[in-house]
Structure 1
Amino acid sequence: MHLITEKIENLKNRIKQLQTKGQLSRIEFLLDQLKEFILQENRERAFCGMSLICAQCGKEGKACCGKNIEFKYSDELLLINLLYGVEIPEEPEFPEMCFFLKNSGCVLFARDAFCINFICDKIKEQIPLEKLKKLRQLEGLHLNFQFQLEQMLKRFSGVYDFQNYSKLNCFRT
Structure 2
Amino acid sequence: MRTIFIALMLALTLAACGTKDETPESPVTPPDAAATQDQSPTQAADPTAVADPIPEGPVGTMQLADGSTLVITELVKLDKFYLYLSGKLNGRSSTIVSFTRFSDLRGFNAFVFKDQNNFIITTKRGKELVFTDAHVYIGNDSPDTYSFYIMDENLDKKLVTVPKKDVATIKIN
Structure of higher RCO (CA pairs closer than 8 Å, 6+ residues apart): 1
TM class by smaller structure? under 0.3
TM-score computed with the length of structure 2 as normaliser: 0.23
Structure 1 or 2: more strand by fraction? 2
Larger Rg: 2
Structure 1 or 2: more helix by fraction? 1
